[in-house]
Structure 1
Amino acid sequence: MSLSLRRAFMMTISAVVLLTTALSSASAAAPASYRIVVLGDSVSAGYEPIEEIKNGTTAPYGYADRLLEQSLFRTSSALTNYAILGLTTPGLANLLQGAANGQPLQASDLQDFSSFDPRVVVMADGVAKRTRELAADLAQADLVVLTIGGNDFSSLIKMAADSSTESARQIIQDSFEIRMNDYTKDLDKMATRLHELAPNARIVLADQYLPLFKGHELYPLLLDKVKVLSQALDLFAEEMTKRGIPLKIAHVSGKFAGNESAYTYFNLWDKWDIHPKQPGYEAIAQAFADKIWSDGYRKPDPRAEGVELSVVINGKEPPSKPVLIKGTTFLALRDVSNAVGAELKWNQAAKSATFKKNGKEVVVTIGSNTVYVDGVARQIPTPAYFEQDGKNVKTYVPLAVVSDSLDYQVVFRKSIMTVFINS
Structure 2
Amino acid sequence: MQLNLRKPLTVILSAIMVLTTIASLASAAPKETETKDVYRIVALGDSVSVGYEPGMKTGSIPYGYVDRLYEQALFHGRSELASYAVMGLTAPGLSTLLKGAADAKKLTSADLLGETTLPAEVLQQADSIGAKTPELAADLAQANLVVLTIGGNDFSPIIKAIKDLTGDTAKQTIENNFNITMNNYAESMDKVIKGLHLLAPNAQIVLADQYLPLWEPLPYYSELSNAVITLANRLDTLAEDLNKQDIPLKIAHVSPKFVKNEKKFTHFNVVEEFDTHPSQAGYESIAQTFAEVIWKQYLKPAPRASGVPISIIINGKEPPNKPTMINNTTFLALTDVADAVGAEVKWTQKTKTAVFSKNGRVVSITVGAKTITINGVSQPISTPAYFQTVGKNLKTYVPLAVISSGLDYQVVYRKNLLAAFINS
TM-score between the two structures when normalised by the length of structure 1? 0.92
**Structure 1 match to 2:305:** 304
Name the CA distance, whole Å, in 1 between partners of 2:335 and 2:398: 10
Asked if structure 2 preserves the Cα contact closer than 8 Å seen for 1:27 and 1:411, the reply is: no
Q: Which residue of 1 aligns with 2:177?
A: 175
C-alpha deviations, 1:166-218, integer Å up to 9, x for none?
22201212321221111111000010100000000000000000131122221
Worse-superposed segment, 381-390 or 191-200: 381-390
Q: 1:361 to 1:162 in 2, by over 3 A?
A: same
| Residues 180-259 of structure 1 mapped to structure 2, 5 A cutoff | 180-259=182-261
Match of 1:165 in 2: 167
AA aligned to 1:385 is: Y
- Correspondence 1:8-23 to 2 at 5 A: 11-12=5-6, 14-16=11-13, 17=16, 18=18, 19-20=20-21, 22-23=24-25
Is the 8 Å Cα contact of residues 3 and 277 (structure 2) preserved in structure 1? no
Q: Is 2:3–2:152's contact at 8 Å kept on the other side of the alignment? A: no
Match of 1:333 in 2: 334
Q: Are residues 28 and 225 of structure 1, via their aligned partners in 2, closer, same or farther at CA, if it must alter by over 3 Å?
A: closer
Deviation, structure 1 residue 388: 5.1
Counterpart Cα distance in 2 of 1:345 and 1:269: 67
Structure 1 runs, 4 residues or longer, greater than 6 Å off: 26-30
Residue aligning to 1:413: 414
- Residue in 1 that maps onto 2:265: 263
Cross-structure match for 1:41: 46
Does the 8 Å CA contact 2:30/2:80 hold for their aligned counterparts?
A: no
Instruction: Show the counterpart of 1:5.
Output: none
The aligned residue for residue 92 of structure 2 is: 90
Q: What's the counterpart of residue 69 of structure 2?
A: 67
**Shift in Å, 1:393:** 5.3
Runs (5+) with no aligned partner, structure 2: none
Of 99, 105, 108, the residue aligned with 1:106 is: 108
TM-superposed deviation, 1:27 = 8.2
Match of residue 282, structure 1, among 281, 284, 292: 284
Preserved CA contact (<8 Å) 2:43 2:82: yes
Secondary structure of 1:265's partner? coil
C-alpha distance in 2 between matches for 1:38 and 1:311: 26
Contact map agreement 1:311 1:317 (CA 8 A) in 2: yes
Output the amino acid matched with 2:371.
Answer: T
SS at match of 1:136: helix
Query: Partner of 1:270: helix, strand, or coil?
Result: coil
Distance 2:157 2:269 in 1: 22
Specify every segment of 5 or more residues in structure 1 that has no aligned partner in the other structure, as ranges.
Answer: 1-7
Greater shift in the superposed pair: 298-307 or 105-114: 105-114
3-state SS of 1:416 partner: coil
The SS at the match of 2:416 is helix
Mean CA deviation greater in 173-182 or 155-164: 155-164
Within 2, Cα distance between the matches of 1:305 and 1:188?
A: 51
- In structure 1, the partner of 2:354 is 353
Q: Give 1:409 shift.
A: 0.2
Could you say what secondary structure the match of 1:331 adopts? Answer: strand
**TM-score by structure 2 length?**
0.92
* Aligned AA (2:403): V
What is the SS of the residue equivalent to 1:345? strand
Q: Give me the whole-angstrom Cα distance separating, in 2, the residues matched to 1:243 and 1:419.
A: 40
- The 3-state SS of whatever aligns with 1:37 is strand
**Counterpart-to-counterpart distance in 2, 1:100 and 1:336:** 44
Letter in 2 for 1:12: R
More deviation in 348-357 or 323-332?
Answer: 323-332
Q: Per-residue CA shift, 1:341-384, capped at 9, x if unaligned? A: 22112111110111111121111111001222222212211111
Alignment of 1:360-375 (within 5 A): 360-375=361-376
Q: CA deviation at 1:147?
A: 0.2
Question: Partners in 2 of 1:157 and 1:272 — Cα distance?
Answer: 10
Aligned partner letter, 2:345: L
Q: Which moved more, 1:151-160 or 1:273-282?
A: 151-160
Residue aligning to 1:4? none
Contact 1:361/1:374 (<8 A) preserved: yes
Bigger relative contact order (CA 8 A; separation at least 6):
1
After superposition, the Cα gap between the structure-2 partners of 1:189 and 1:25, relative to the gap in structure 1 and judged at 3 Å, is closer
> Percent identity among equivalent residues?
53
Q: How many residues align?
A: 412
Give CA-to-partner distance per residue, 1:271-304, whole Å, 9 cap, x none: 221101100110110110011002x111110000
SS at match of 2:363: strand
The 1-side partners of 2:187 and 2:95 are apart by: 11
Q: CA RMSD in A?
A: 2.1
1-side partners of 2:391 and 2:355: how far apart? 20
Q: 1:94 to 1:28 in 2, by over 3 A?
A: closer
1:49-76 CA distance string (max 9 Å, x none): 11xx2x3232011100000001001111
Contact 1:206 1:251 in 2 (8 A): yes
8 Å CA contact 1:29, 1:410 repeated in 2: no
Matched position secondary structure for 2:290:
helix
Q: In 2 relative to 1, CA 269–156 (structure 1 residues): closer, same or farther, beyond 3 Å? A: closer
The one-letter code matched in structure 2 to 1:415 is N
Of 259-268 and 358-367, the range deviating more from structure 2? 259-268
1:243-278 residue CA offsets vs partner (Å, 9 max, x unmatched): 111010111101111111111111287222110110
CA distance in 1, matches of 2:236, 2:348: 60
